[in-house]
Amino acid sequence: MFKLDGNYFGDTKCPNNSEEKPCTILNCLFSHRIDDLKRPLDGDPELPAPKRAETEAKGSILQEQRDEEGYRLVPKPITHLDIPFEIRHANIQRILEYYGDEELKKSEQDALEEEFSFADLSQSKDEYNSNIELMLLGKEIKVISDPAYILPKEVKPKAPAGLPERKRFIQFMVDAFKKAQPNVRTPILKSIEEEYTVASTTTPVTYNQSIKKKIHQIANPEKYQRKEKVLSNADLLSKLKELVIPKPKLQKFGYVMEPPKTKALETRRNCRRCGADFTKEEQLNPVTCQFHAGKIRRKDKRTRFYDCCGSEVGSENETCSVASHHIFYWNDVEEMHSAIPFKKIDHSSKTAVKAVGIDCEMGYTTLGFELLRITAIDYLTGEDVFDIFVQPIGTVVDLNTRYSGVAEIIEGALTFEELMHFVRQYIDKDTVLIGHGLENDMNAMRLIHEQIVDTAILYPKFKASPTFRFSLKDLAFSYLSRNIQTGEHDSREDSIAAIDIVKYFINLDAKRDS
């Protein structure tokens, strides 16, 4: 339609224009002023004067209230979501600030329309809030709307059915989506894509049967849902045994697999913390041992730092911790074996558990790095098998509380020999031991065992090496969304985390195989 010169009908209210349904005629001859929407058309019954006055008064009062509360920009109404007025108004203001105010009227209109588009197209409050935040962060938001008409996609070189037939099947799909899967936001678009997948992979002979099967799947989604296999305890144990690491690989990663030779123990030692030389006889004499208590972390390829205070490794910054004694660690497994001998687990026990998660806590004594606590968790039930504090053989120099979590040697703690006798009741040659970096725990227990599942070696798959392994904290966060080791070390927490990581990958593989 073309407008007449002089705008002859410009003062006449458009009969097709209303607040609920605006006029869509291009270059319409009639007036579309907002005031006209409040004025009845010729021939329309007017509101009775008192009623109209009351309505106008209410509208006036409402507008005054909005003005007093700062709500000058009123959001356009939506019906499918209940988003509080205050939230929508606040978001309009935020969008307005995002656009800037060089042209205030244009910016206000942009903000109103932008906010309304998010509110109108969002299927939930969370989606609405998320889209608003993404927009304010300057990130692209792709809002896909459903087409108004069904138009099958072109299939080359030739479709297996005619256009009318394809449109008919797509309509059946749309109806099925709306009835059985109402959460699908774009049923027409999804139906077009589903039909195209069938049409592009079938022939005129197989199209009808395939498309009907697809419609049945859409109409009955519960019948076609993949049922996840729930692994039994026998399955979990069988899958665990498949993960046992071969003996040569364990040796490559530092495990002691045969009793070492003995050797004479040197009396001179280097402090593991500050690097100072001392003799074993002098170890209990008070000294000033200055060091960094934290571990060395890598910032980038060239820079490493201490996680205790942030100082760079090799810098001239002062150390952040002081102790009154030097500590040492044995130089090799021969020295360890000479101080406290290794023993193979080669016995059978009727009370042995099939598989346990193991974690040990160690501290420094006059005999090196000794066992202070051992925790075993049943792999299948998650229950404690034992959690025992140990009286070390040597004299305690430093309980290493920051990392061990052991603040004192409790009264009644088992001696090392008593502990080994006790452990043999629950761990025999067939028991699978699960843990992270278990070579350190096995060394502390002075045990040699071949049934080992070490998460530090296995995960992430094919990423670990003898010189690099991911921490248990990193693995737990990545695969379990669990934040561990936030305070003092807890051996029970670590045992459970290692077990759960193994189960995570076992279940993941089971899903892929199903």
> Are 372 and 484 contained in the same domain?
yes
Structure tokens at 373: 């606590």
Q: Is residue 280, in this structure, part of any structural domain at all?
A: yes
> Are 380 and 447 contained in the same domain?
yes
User: Sign of torsion, CA 139 145 151 155?
Assistant: positive
Q: Is residue 152, in this structure, part of any structural domain at all?
A: no
> Are 282 and 246 contained in the same domain?
no
Cα–Cα dist 290/293, whole Å: 9
> Are 253 and 214 contained in the same domain?
no
At 503, which amino acid appears? Answer: K
> Are 213 and 278 contained in the same domain?
no
Q: What is the 3-state secondary structure (H, E, C) of 385-417?
A: EEEEEEECCCCEEECCHHHHCCCCCCCCCEEHH
Q: Which residues contact 442 (CB under 8 A, 6 or more apart)?
A: 255, 256, 433, 448, 449, 452
Q: Which of 484, 442, 430 is closest to 253 using CA atoms?
A: 442
Q: Residue for token digits 């040492």? A: 328
| Count of domains for the chain | 4
> Are 437 and 465 contained in the same domain?
yes
Cα–Cα dist 490/333, whole Å: 26
> Are 303 and 424 contained in the same domain?
no
Q: Is residue 278, in this structure, part of any structural domain at all?
A: yes
**Sequential DSSP letters for 13-41:** BPTT--SSS----TT-SSB--HHHHHSPP
> Are 358 and 503 contained in the same domain?
yes
**277-279 and 268-270: which strand pairing?**
antiparallel
| Domain housing 307 | 268-323
Instruction: Supply the CATH number for residue 501's domain.
Output: 3.30.420.10
Q: Which of 89, 85, 53, 38 is closest to 61 using CA atoms?
A: 53
Q: Is residue 307, in this structure, part of any structural domain at all?
A: yes
Residues paired with 432 in a beta bridge: 355
Count of residues making up the chain:
514
> Are 355 and 467 contained in the same domain?
yes
Rounded to the nearest 5 degrees, what angle is found at the Cα of 221, between the Cα atoms of 219 and 227? Answer: 160
**Per residue of the chain (514 residues), what is the pLDDT tens digit?**
444 444 455 666 676 676 556 666 655 666 665 444 444 444 444 444 443 334 343 333 333 334 444 445 788 888 777 788 878 888 888 887 776 644 444 567 777 888 888 887 777 777 788 788 777 776 555 556 788 899 999 999 999 999 999 999 999 999 999 999 887 878 998 899 999 999 999 999 999 999 999 999 999 988 877 666 788 999 999 999 999 999 999 999 999 999 999 999 999 999 999 999 999 999 999 999 999 988 888 777 788 888 888 888 888 778 899 999 999 999 999 999 999 999 999 999 999 999 999 999 999 999 999 999 999 999 999 999 999 999 999 999 999 888 888 889 888 899 999 999 999 999 999 999 999 999 999 999 999 999 999 999 999 888 888 888 999 988 998 888 888 887 667 889 999 999 999 999 999 888 877 6
> Are 351 and 248 contained in the same domain?
yes
Cα–Cα dist 337/393, whole Å: 14
Q: Is residue 506, in this structure, part of any structural domain at all?
A: yes
> Are 55 and 122 contained in the same domain?
yes
Q: Is residue 334, in this structure, part of any structural domain at all?
A: no
Q: Is residue 337, in this structure, part of any structural domain at all?
A: no
Q: Is residue 119, in this structure, part of any structural domain at all?
A: yes
> Are 213 and 308 contained in the same domain?
no
13 φ/ψ angles, rounded to the nearest 5 degrees: -65, 135
